[in-house]
Amino acid sequence: MSEASIIDGKALAAQVQERVRAAVEELKKRHGFVPGLAVVLVGDDPASRVYVRNKGKRTTEAGMKSFEYQLPADTGEEALLERIARLNKSPEVHGILVQLPLPKQINPDRVIDAIDPDKDVDGFHVINAGRLAVGRPALVPCTPLGCVLLAKQAKADLTGLEAVIIGRSNIVGKPLAQLLLRENCTVTIAHSRTRDLPEVARRADLLVAAVGRPELVRGSWIKPGAIVIDVGINRVERENGKAKLVGDVAFGEAKEVAGAITPVPGGVGPMTIAMLLVNTVKAACMQRNIPLPRPLAGL
Ligand code: NDP
């Protein structure tokens, strides 16, 4: 059997970003406004800082307004809630994202609950989770949205596929299950208590790993020809003492068996930010009650 084709998340993310740029241009011309995204970071976690900086950069590259708030690590919950209340009211801000994880003194549920669901571009609010579950228009979490587009690069119509998702988090596994149901897949969600995980994984025509365990999924777990989407981002030490990023899938083994596979890095990661930009335009259009610009049709 030939090697898997590599699904290029960087290239797809660049295409999506270009469509967002064109959509923003259209909004400016036809409706005279530019969508704005506010990103709030509490504390100085270095990885979060990098994410926030990248999000801001991509937002402005797409022609939108970016508002960044870096709050000190000892910020209290009330102060953060006040900041969110102001952003909820601001007519220039159409999307609000609070970078997780938050410091211990802040309850993330209270923070997510405080974001206006129509500005909740992360799609973590219970109202959006509920809308997604019952099939109403919703702001949907970015990483699962990216996973579906990546899978469709390998097979445009996912109807009827056996999909197995390893991981049941609220930010990846559960919303992805809803999206794949919408795509007419037969969906299994596996987790740390699943019996005989390799056997369950081998059933999958579409296997998604969203676990956070470096190279948990071996080549022998993969059905020949399957589409494999690797969400995991794990920093591991190399023998030379330097760190490298690996996914939840043993890529070298998996590409010998799979039909198509996403790499880490360069797979799901870039798509997450691209879908955040899409969600910001969607949120802006919903708030203004105008249709989604044509360049974003189908996204
Ligand atoms: P969580 O820790 O919230 O969830 C992990 C899930 O994996 C849980 O459902 C857990 O099961 C399950 N799990 C843990 N160990 C095993 C095991 N040995 N066998 C089977 N299932 C297991 O993680 P997230 O969903 O937030 O993230 C998952 C990974 O994806 C991480 O590496 C994260 O860094 C990455 N990520 C990447 C993003 C991107 O943009 N590329 C965005 C978001 C996340 P249980 O529920 O039983 O505990």
The alpha carbon of 55 and the centre of ligand 1 are apart by a number of angstroms equal to 22
Strand ranges of the sheet holding 36-42, from the earlier edge strand across to the other edge: 65-71, 36-42, 95-98
CB of 191 shorter than 6 A to ligand 1: yes
Substitution candidate for ligand 1 out of 200, 211, 272 with most atoms within 8 A of CB: 211
CB of 209 shorter than 6 A to ligand 1: no
Identify the residue whose C-alpha is closest to ligand 1 atom 1.
169
The alpha carbon of 211 and the centre of ligand 1 are apart by a number of angstroms equal to 3
pLDDT digit string, tens, across residues 39-68:
999 999 988 999 999 999 999 999 999 999
Which pair of structure tokens corresponds to residue 157? 């119509």
pLDDT of residue 47: 87
23 membership: H or E segment, kind and range: helix 9-31
Alpha helices by DSSP H, listed for 135-267, are 142-154, 173-182, 197-202, 251-257
Q: In the 3-class helix/strand/coil scheme, how is 247-271 assigned residue by residue?
A: CCECHHHHHHHCCEECCCCCCHHHH
Substitution candidate for ligand 1 out of 145, 192, 208 with most atoms within 8 A of CB: 192
CB of 232 shorter than 6 A to ligand 1: yes
Q: What percent of the chain has pLDDT over 70?
A: 100
pLDDT of residue 1: 64
What is the C-alpha to C-alpha distance for residues 115 and 127, in angstroms, rounded to an integer? Answer: 11
Atom of ligand 1 nearest to the CA of 168: 9
Which pair of structure tokens corresponds to residue 265? 């890095």
CB of 171 shorter than 6 A to ligand 1: yes
Class of domain 142-269: alpha beta
CB-based contact 284:94 (threshold 8 Å): yes
- Which residue numbers in the chain have pLDDT < 70? 1
| Residue with the two structure tokens 């579409």 | 206
What is the C-alpha to C-alpha distance for residues 27 and 261, in angstroms, rounded to an integer? Answer: 35
* 46-61 and 9-31 helices, crossing angle to 10°: 50
Identify the residue whose C-alpha is closest to ligand 1 atom 4.
169
What is the C-alpha to C-alpha distance for residues 185 and 228, in angstroms, rounded to an integer? Answer: 15
pLDDT of residue 8: 98
Cα–Cα nearest to 142, from 120, 164, 112, 113: 120
Show the CA angle centred on residue 15, arms to residues 285 and 205, nearest 5°: 100
Bridge partners (DSSP) of residue 66 are 37
CB of 268 shorter than 6 A to ligand 1: yes
Cα–Cα nearest to 63, from 101, 89, 29: 29
The alpha carbon of 212 and the centre of ligand 1 are apart by a number of angstroms equal to 5
Which pair of structure tokens corresponds to residue 46? 């270095």
* pTM of structure: 0.97
**Domain spans in the chain, listed from the N-terminal domain onward:** 142-269
Strand pairing report for 227-230 and 260-261? parallel
The alpha carbon of 210 and the centre of ligand 1 are apart by a number of angstroms equal to 5
pLDDT of residue 238: 87
The alpha carbon of 52 and the centre of ligand 1 are apart by a number of angstroms equal to 21
